[in-house]
Amino acid sequence: WGADGQLRYAGRADHQVQLRGFRIELGEVEAALAGQSGVGQAAVLIREDQPGVRQLVGYAVAADGAELDPAGLRAGVGEALPDYMVPVAVVVLDAFPVTPNGKLDRKALPAPDLSAGTTGTAARDGREEVLCGLFAELLGLAAVGVHDSFFDLGGDSIVSIQLVSRARKAGLVITPRQ
């Protein structure tokens, strides 16, 4: 309550977030990531590195002597949780950044390099070139190959609608299903 007698809503006490129409308990995703072989510590958060593009990102620190594969960690989380709860990327760090109080400094966690998941296979014609350019622009990537997965690189149903709109403006006739 404020001094003026008005109730002030300060946010949720838990770490539940809404992403693409789904409610996601970040602690549940963190637990699935932490449960993967070789993971010593895990954190999960929503990032908005590009205006309007919110993405679930996981962070992991290896247990002593373990080697972590980000793609393998994503796959393992995908076996334990529904698709909408799987982070678009897992960033492996040597150690988590901490605040002066010793708590995880979530704001200091680095943005994922989603371009690492691209194949770089070049477009074969003008239509593919336009689509690859639009994919890259909407996903905030330098380049996208023709065999790259739109969804694995961070795309979702809303971004697919934006893609269709921009493709139509560029003279291509496609639907979100395609």
Radius of gyration of the chain from Cα atoms? 19
Do 126 and 61 share a structural domain?
Answer: no
> Beta strand pairing status for 89-93 and 53-62?
parallel
pLDDT tens, residue by residue, 33-63: 999 999 999 999 998 877 777 889 999 999 9
Q: Which of 112, 133, 159 is the last residue of a domain?
A: 112
Whether pLDDT at 93 is above 80: yes
Q: Tokens 């403006």 sit at which residue?
A: 169
What's the pLDDT tens digit per position in 120-164?
Answer: 677 788 888 888 888 888 877 777 888 888 877 777 778 888 889
Q: What is the CATH number of the domain that holds 31?
A: 3.30.300.30
Percent helix, strand, coil in the chain, to 5, is 30, 20, 45
User: Does residue 87 share a domain with residue 48?
Assistant: yes
Whether 105 and 68 share a structural domain:
yes
Residue with tokens 């393992």: 76
Write down the pLDDT at residue 175: 80
Residue 136's pLDDT is 83
Q: Give per-residue pLDDT as tens, 21-31.
A: 789 999 999 99
Q: Are residues 135 and 153 in the same domain?
A: yes
Please answer whether residues 56 and 78 qualify as being in contact, where contact means their C-beta atoms are separated by less than 8 angstroms.
no
- CA angle 16/74/92 to nearest 5° reads 90
Does residue 70 surpass a pLDDT of 70?
Answer: yes
Domain boundary among 112, 135, 154: 112
Q: Which residue, 94, 112, 130, sits at the end of a domain? A: 112
Q: Where are the alpha helices (DSSP H) in 8-139?
A: 26-34, 70-80, 126-139
23 and 107 inside one domain = yes
Q: 90 and 49 in one domain? A: yes
Is there a domain that residue 134 lies in? yes
List C-alpha distances in Å: 5 to 1, 8, 10, 12, 24.
6, 9, 15, 21, 33
Q: Is residue 11 part of a domain?
A: no
Residue 124's domain comprises 115-169
Written as one letter, the residue type at 169 is K
Task: Indicate whether 9 belongs to any domain.
Answer: no
Whether 101 and 32 share a structural domain: yes
Residue 38 confidence (pLDDT): 95
How many other C-beta atoms can be found within 10 angstroms of the C-beta atom of residue 1?
7
Among the residue ranges 113-117, 154-158, 165-169, the one predicted with the least confidence is: 113-117
Please state the pTM of the whole predicted model: 0.70
Could you tell me how far CA 34 lies from the centroid of its own chain? 17
The structural domain count of the chain equals: 2
